[in-house]
A and B are shown apart, each in its own frame.
Chain A
Amino acid sequence: MSEQAGTLVKSDVADAPLVIGGHSFTSRLIVGTGKYGDNPTMVRAIRASGAEMVTVAVRRVDLDRSKEEGILHHLSPNEFFLLANTAGCYSADDAIRYARLARAAGFNEWIKLEVIGDQATLLPDVAATLEAARTLTGEGFKVMAYTNDDLITALRLEDAGCVAVMPLASPIGSGLGVVNPYFIREIKRRLEVPVIVDAGVGTASDACVTMEQGVDGVLMNTALAAADDPVRMAHAMRHAILAGRLAWLAGRMPSREIAVPSSPTKGMLD
Protein backbone atom coordinates (compact mmCIF):
# COMPACT_ATOMS: atom_id res chain seq x y z
CA MET A 1 0.00 0.00 0.00
CA SER A 2 1.47 3.33 -0.94
CA GLU A 3 1.49 6.26 1.45
CA GLN A 4 -0.59 9.31 0.83
CA ALA A 5 1.29 12.37 -0.33
CA GLY A 6 2.60 14.21 2.70
CA THR A 7 2.07 11.28 5.08
CA LEU A 8 4.50 11.49 7.92
CA VAL A 9 6.36 8.26 8.60
CA LYS A 10 7.71 8.97 12.02
CA SER A 11 10.83 6.84 11.65
CA ASP A 12 11.79 8.94 8.61
CA VAL A 13 12.14 12.06 10.72
CA ALA A 14 13.40 10.46 13.92
CA ASP A 15 15.80 12.55 15.98
CA ALA A 16 17.38 12.17 19.39
CA PRO A 17 16.10 14.50 22.08
CA LEU A 18 18.13 17.54 23.02
CA VAL A 19 19.74 16.70 26.35
CA ILE A 20 21.13 19.61 28.38
CA GLY A 21 22.54 19.02 31.82
CA GLY A 22 20.73 15.69 32.09
CA HIS A 23 17.37 17.21 31.16
CA SER A 24 15.72 16.04 27.97
CA PHE A 25 13.89 18.37 25.56
CA THR A 26 11.94 17.48 22.44
CA SER A 27 12.01 20.98 21.00
CA ARG A 28 15.29 22.47 19.83
CA LEU A 29 13.89 25.96 20.08
CA ILE A 30 14.24 27.99 23.26
CA VAL A 31 12.38 31.29 23.40
CA GLY A 32 12.54 34.48 25.41
CA THR A 33 9.59 36.23 27.01
CA GLY A 34 10.63 39.87 26.58
CA LYS A 35 9.33 42.74 24.48
CA TYR A 36 5.91 41.35 23.57
CA GLY A 37 3.15 43.90 23.09
CA ASP A 38 0.89 42.04 25.48
CA ASN A 39 0.98 38.92 27.62
CA PRO A 40 -1.77 36.89 25.91
CA THR A 41 0.09 37.23 22.59
CA MET A 42 3.31 36.16 24.29
CA VAL A 43 1.69 33.03 25.70
CA ARG A 44 0.09 32.12 22.35
CA ALA A 45 3.36 32.70 20.50
CA ILE A 46 5.36 30.59 22.93
CA ARG A 47 2.85 27.75 22.71
CA ALA A 48 2.90 28.01 18.90
CA SER A 49 6.71 27.84 18.89
CA GLY A 50 6.62 24.45 20.60
CA ALA A 51 9.41 25.57 22.93
CA GLU A 52 9.64 23.83 26.27
CA MET A 53 12.32 26.04 27.79
CA VAL A 54 11.66 29.77 28.15
CA THR A 55 13.95 32.49 29.43
CA VAL A 56 12.99 35.08 32.02
CA ALA A 57 14.83 38.05 33.53
CA VAL A 58 15.32 39.06 37.16
CA ARG A 59 14.27 42.61 37.96
CA ARG A 60 13.11 44.78 40.83
CA VAL A 61 9.42 44.68 41.53
CA ASP A 62 7.96 48.00 40.37
CA LEU A 63 6.44 49.28 43.60
CA ASP A 64 4.85 52.28 41.93
CA ARG A 65 2.39 50.09 40.09
CA SER A 66 -0.58 49.24 42.24
CA LYS A 67 -0.65 45.58 41.23
CA GLU A 68 2.61 44.49 39.72
CA GLU A 69 2.32 41.46 37.48
CA GLY A 70 5.40 39.34 37.17
CA ILE A 71 5.80 36.93 34.27
CA LEU A 72 4.70 33.98 36.40
CA HIS A 73 1.16 35.35 36.47
CA HIS A 74 1.07 34.45 32.77
CA LEU A 75 3.46 31.54 32.28
CA SER A 76 3.12 28.51 34.47
CA PRO A 77 6.36 26.93 35.68
CA ASN A 78 4.49 23.63 35.39
CA GLU A 79 4.04 24.12 31.66
CA PHE A 80 7.46 25.56 30.80
CA PHE A 81 11.00 24.97 31.98
CA LEU A 82 12.16 28.35 33.29
CA LEU A 83 15.65 29.51 32.39
CA ALA A 84 16.45 32.71 34.27
CA ASN A 85 19.02 35.00 32.69
CA THR A 86 21.54 37.55 33.89
CA ALA A 87 20.71 39.94 31.07
CA GLY A 88 21.75 43.51 31.68
CA CYS A 89 24.75 42.58 33.84
CA TYR A 90 28.07 44.20 32.96
CA SER A 91 30.35 42.45 35.45
CA ALA A 92 30.95 38.94 36.75
CA ASP A 93 29.90 40.03 40.25
CA ASP A 94 26.58 41.42 39.03
CA ALA A 95 25.86 38.29 37.00
CA ILE A 96 26.63 36.09 40.00
CA ARG A 97 24.33 38.21 42.18
CA TYR A 98 21.47 37.92 39.67
CA ALA A 99 22.02 34.17 39.28
CA ARG A 100 21.79 33.64 43.02
CA LEU A 101 18.60 35.71 43.20
CA ALA A 102 17.13 33.65 40.35
CA ARG A 103 17.94 30.40 42.10
CA ALA A 104 16.39 31.69 45.32
CA ALA A 105 13.08 31.97 43.46
CA GLY A 106 13.02 28.22 43.99
CA PHE A 107 12.32 26.73 40.57
CA ASN A 108 15.68 25.34 39.50
CA GLU A 109 19.42 25.91 39.59
CA TRP A 110 19.75 26.74 35.90
CA ILE A 111 21.01 30.07 34.65
CA LYS A 112 21.50 31.65 31.27
CA LEU A 113 24.73 33.47 31.99
CA GLU A 114 25.13 36.69 30.08
CA VAL A 115 27.74 39.35 30.86
CA ILE A 116 27.63 42.26 28.46
CA GLY A 117 30.82 44.11 27.60
CA ASP A 118 29.63 46.97 25.43
CA GLN A 119 26.42 48.95 25.38
CA ALA A 120 26.40 49.71 21.66
CA THR A 121 26.79 46.16 20.38
CA LEU A 122 25.72 44.20 23.49
CA LEU A 123 28.61 41.88 22.71
CA PRO A 124 29.59 39.64 25.60
CA ASP A 125 32.52 40.30 27.92
CA VAL A 126 34.00 36.85 27.51
CA ALA A 127 36.62 37.21 30.29
CA ALA A 128 33.94 38.21 32.80
CA THR A 129 31.61 35.50 31.47
CA LEU A 130 34.28 32.88 32.04
CA GLU A 131 34.99 34.16 35.55
CA ALA A 132 31.30 34.10 36.47
CA ALA A 133 30.84 30.67 34.86
CA ARG A 134 33.60 29.18 37.03
CA THR A 135 32.09 30.60 40.21
CA LEU A 136 28.54 29.57 39.37
CA THR A 137 29.33 26.01 38.29
CA GLY A 138 31.30 25.72 41.54
CA GLU A 139 28.13 26.68 43.40
CA GLY A 140 26.17 23.95 41.66
CA PHE A 141 24.48 26.04 39.00
CA LYS A 142 23.73 24.55 35.60
CA VAL A 143 25.15 27.29 33.45
CA MET A 144 24.18 27.93 29.85
CA ALA A 145 26.64 30.58 28.78
CA TYR A 146 25.96 33.22 26.17
CA THR A 147 29.21 33.98 24.37
CA ASN A 148 30.84 35.26 21.24
CA ASP A 149 31.36 33.04 18.20
CA ASP A 150 34.89 32.41 19.42
CA LEU A 151 36.08 28.82 19.61
CA ILE A 152 38.64 29.29 22.38
CA THR A 153 36.17 30.96 24.73
CA ALA A 154 33.64 28.24 23.94
CA LEU A 155 36.20 25.55 24.84
CA ARG A 156 37.06 27.35 28.11
CA LEU A 157 33.39 27.64 29.02
CA GLU A 158 32.98 23.93 28.45
CA ASP A 159 36.04 23.29 30.65
CA ALA A 160 34.47 25.52 33.30
CA GLY A 161 31.60 23.04 33.51
CA CYS A 162 28.87 24.85 31.57
CA VAL A 163 26.05 22.50 30.54
CA ALA A 164 25.64 24.33 27.23
CA VAL A 165 27.59 26.95 25.32
CA MET A 166 25.59 29.56 23.43
CA PRO A 167 27.47 31.51 20.78
CA LEU A 168 25.67 34.38 19.12
CA ALA A 169 24.54 34.29 15.50
CA SER A 170 24.85 38.10 15.44
CA PRO A 171 24.25 40.88 18.02
CA ILE A 172 21.24 40.64 20.35
CA GLY A 173 18.11 42.06 18.74
CA SER A 174 19.83 42.70 15.39
CA GLY A 175 18.02 40.09 13.33
CA LEU A 176 21.07 39.78 11.08
CA GLY A 177 21.12 35.97 11.11
CA VAL A 178 24.34 33.92 11.30
CA VAL A 179 27.16 36.25 10.32
CA ASN A 180 29.87 33.65 10.80
CA PRO A 181 28.62 30.17 9.99
CA TYR A 182 32.17 28.80 9.78
CA PHE A 183 32.93 29.61 13.43
CA ILE A 184 29.56 28.28 14.57
CA ARG A 185 30.32 25.00 12.80
CA GLU A 186 33.81 24.91 14.27
CA ILE A 187 32.47 25.43 17.80
CA LYS A 188 29.92 22.66 17.27
CA ARG A 189 32.59 20.32 15.90
CA ARG A 190 34.87 20.79 18.89
CA LEU A 191 32.51 20.88 21.89
CA GLU A 192 30.92 17.92 23.60
CA VAL A 193 28.23 19.89 25.45
CA PRO A 194 25.25 21.14 23.45
CA VAL A 195 25.81 24.25 21.36
CA ILE A 196 22.77 26.53 21.27
CA VAL A 197 22.95 29.56 19.01
CA ASP A 198 21.61 32.49 20.99
CA ALA A 199 20.79 35.92 19.57
CA GLY A 200 20.62 37.43 16.10
CA VAL A 201 18.11 35.20 14.35
CA GLY A 202 15.66 37.45 12.52
CA THR A 203 13.34 35.28 10.49
CA ALA A 204 12.60 31.66 9.65
CA SER A 205 15.34 31.30 7.03
CA ASP A 206 17.92 32.47 9.59
CA ALA A 207 16.74 29.82 12.04
CA CYS A 208 16.87 27.17 9.35
CA VAL A 209 20.37 28.16 8.19
CA THR A 210 21.52 28.18 11.81
CA MET A 211 20.27 24.64 12.41
CA GLU A 212 21.87 23.55 9.12
CA GLN A 213 25.25 24.31 10.70
CA GLY A 214 24.66 21.26 12.88
CA VAL A 215 24.09 23.04 16.18
CA ASP A 216 21.85 21.53 18.83
CA GLY A 217 19.34 24.33 19.14
CA VAL A 218 18.49 28.01 18.82
CA LEU A 219 17.43 30.56 21.40
CA MET A 220 15.48 33.58 20.17
CA ASN A 221 13.30 36.34 21.53
CA THR A 222 13.03 39.48 19.38
CA ALA A 223 12.41 37.54 16.16
CA LEU A 224 9.08 36.47 17.62
CA ALA A 225 8.23 39.42 19.85
CA ALA A 226 8.97 42.07 17.22
CA ALA A 227 7.25 40.30 14.30
CA ASP A 228 4.06 41.94 13.10
CA ASP A 229 2.31 38.70 13.98
CA PRO A 230 4.32 36.93 16.69
CA VAL A 231 2.05 33.87 16.78
CA ARG A 232 2.37 33.24 13.04
CA MET A 233 6.12 33.83 13.20
CA ALA A 234 6.34 31.34 16.08
CA HIS A 235 4.75 28.70 13.86
CA ALA A 236 7.20 29.60 11.09
CA MET A 237 10.14 29.26 13.48
CA ARG A 238 8.97 25.88 14.74
CA HIS A 239 8.92 24.62 11.15
CA ALA A 240 12.23 26.32 10.31
CA ILE A 241 14.05 24.78 13.26
CA LEU A 242 12.71 21.38 12.33
CA ALA A 243 13.51 21.88 8.63
CA GLY A 244 17.08 22.95 9.39
CA ARG A 245 17.58 20.07 11.78
CA LEU A 246 16.24 17.51 9.31
CA ALA A 247 18.36 18.96 6.50
CA TRP A 248 21.43 18.67 8.72
CA LEU A 249 20.61 15.09 9.66
CA ALA A 250 19.83 14.25 6.04
CA GLY A 251 23.23 15.51 4.86
CA ARG A 252 23.11 18.04 2.07
CA MET A 253 24.38 17.46 -1.47
CA PRO A 254 27.76 18.96 -2.33
CA SER A 255 27.48 22.47 -3.68
CA ARG A 256 29.40 23.27 -6.85
CA GLU A 257 29.60 26.16 -9.20
CA ILE A 258 28.75 24.23 -12.35
CA ALA A 259 25.45 22.84 -13.52
CA VAL A 260 24.86 19.09 -13.53
CA PRO A 261 21.77 17.83 -15.35
CA SER A 262 19.15 16.02 -13.30
CA SER A 263 17.70 14.12 -16.26
CA PRO A 264 19.56 11.49 -18.29
CA THR A 265 21.71 12.81 -21.12
CA LYS A 266 21.25 9.45 -22.85
CA GLY A 267 18.09 8.52 -24.70
CA MET A 268 17.47 11.87 -26.27
CA LEU A 269 15.69 11.77 -29.66
CA ASP A 270 17.66 12.36 -32.86
Chain B
Amino acid sequence: MSEERHIRIHLNGTDREVDADHTVRTLIESLDLHPSLIVVELNREILSRDLYEKAPVRDGDTIELVHFVGGG
Protein backbone atom coordinates (compact mmCIF):
# COMPACT_ATOMS: atom_id res chain seq x y z
CA MET B 1 0.00 0.00 0.00
CA SER B 2 1.31 3.44 -0.88
CA GLU B 3 2.10 5.83 1.96
CA GLU B 4 0.42 8.83 0.38
CA ARG B 5 -3.07 7.65 -0.17
CA HIS B 6 -5.56 10.18 -1.46
CA ILE B 7 -9.29 10.14 -1.92
CA ARG B 8 -11.48 12.14 -4.20
CA ILE B 9 -14.34 14.15 -2.69
CA HIS B 10 -16.82 16.67 -4.01
CA LEU B 11 -16.28 19.69 -1.77
CA ASN B 12 -18.38 22.84 -2.11
CA GLY B 13 -19.16 22.05 -5.70
CA THR B 14 -15.64 21.14 -6.77
CA ASP B 15 -13.82 17.81 -7.04
CA ARG B 16 -10.79 17.70 -4.79
CA GLU B 17 -8.13 15.21 -3.84
CA VAL B 18 -7.50 15.10 -0.12
CA ASP B 19 -5.57 12.87 2.26
CA ALA B 20 -7.28 9.60 2.91
CA ASP B 21 -7.06 9.79 6.70
CA HIS B 22 -9.12 12.96 7.25
CA THR B 23 -11.98 13.26 9.65
CA VAL B 24 -14.40 16.09 9.01
CA ARG B 25 -12.69 18.06 11.75
CA THR B 26 -9.18 17.71 10.33
CA LEU B 27 -10.49 18.49 6.86
CA ILE B 28 -12.02 21.76 8.12
CA GLU B 29 -8.82 22.64 9.95
CA SER B 30 -6.70 21.83 6.91
CA LEU B 31 -8.71 24.49 5.07
CA ASP B 32 -7.89 27.04 7.79
CA LEU B 33 -11.53 27.32 8.90
CA HIS B 34 -13.03 27.46 12.38
CA PRO B 35 -15.24 24.42 13.02
CA SER B 36 -17.46 26.47 15.34
CA LEU B 37 -18.42 28.89 12.56
CA ILE B 38 -19.10 26.27 9.90
CA VAL B 39 -22.06 24.01 9.25
CA VAL B 40 -21.30 20.75 7.48
CA GLU B 41 -23.58 18.86 5.17
CA LEU B 42 -22.21 15.39 4.45
CA ASN B 43 -23.93 13.61 1.57
CA ARG B 44 -26.99 15.87 1.96
CA GLU B 45 -27.30 15.22 5.70
CA ILE B 46 -26.37 17.86 8.28
CA LEU B 47 -23.56 16.62 10.47
CA SER B 48 -23.79 17.80 14.06
CA ARG B 49 -20.67 19.44 15.45
CA ASP B 50 -19.98 16.76 18.05
CA LEU B 51 -19.51 14.28 15.22
CA TYR B 52 -16.83 16.24 13.33
CA GLU B 53 -14.11 14.55 15.34
CA LYS B 54 -15.28 11.03 14.59
CA ALA B 55 -16.77 11.28 11.12
CA PRO B 56 -14.33 9.95 8.53
CA VAL B 57 -14.10 11.56 5.11
CA ARG B 58 -14.61 8.81 2.55
CA ASP B 59 -13.84 8.52 -1.12
CA GLY B 60 -16.75 9.90 -3.17
CA ASP B 61 -18.26 11.94 -0.33
CA THR B 62 -20.13 15.10 -1.20
CA ILE B 63 -19.42 17.74 1.43
CA GLU B 64 -20.82 21.24 1.76
CA LEU B 65 -19.23 23.68 4.17
CA VAL B 66 -21.51 26.66 4.72
CA HIS B 67 -21.53 29.72 6.94
CA PHE B 68 -23.36 33.00 7.39
CA VAL B 69 -22.62 35.84 5.00
CA GLY B 70 -24.18 39.26 4.53
CA GLY B 71 -27.73 39.14 3.22
CA GLY B 72 -31.11 40.81 3.41
Residues of A within 8 A of B (CB): 32-36, 42, 55-61, 63, 66-68, 70-72, 82, 84-85, 87, 100-102, 104-106, 172, 199, 219-222
Contact = CB atoms under 8 A, between A and B. Distances in A.
Contacts of B46: 100-101, 104
Contacts of B64: 60
B69 interface: yes
Contact of B72 (A72, A102, A222): A222
Contacts of B20: none
B68 A70 contact: yes
A60 B70 contact: no
Contact of A87 (B12, B66, B67, B72): B72
B49 to A, nearest CB: 7
A61 B70 contact: no
B23 to A, nearest CB: 18
B68 A71 contact: yes
Given A36-B70, A58-B69, 17 more contacts: A32-B70, A34-B71, A34-B72, A56-B69, A61-B66, A61-B67, A63-B65, A66-B32, A67-B32, A70-B68, A71-B69, A72-B37, A72-B67, A84-B68, A102-B68, A104-B39, A172-B72
A59 B13 CA distance: 12
18 contacts: A32-B71, A33-B72, A34-B71, A36-B70, A42-B70, A55-B71, A60-B13, A60-B65, A61-B38, A61-B67, A66-B32, A71-B67, A71-B70, A72-B68, A84-B68, A85-B72, A104-B46, A221-B71
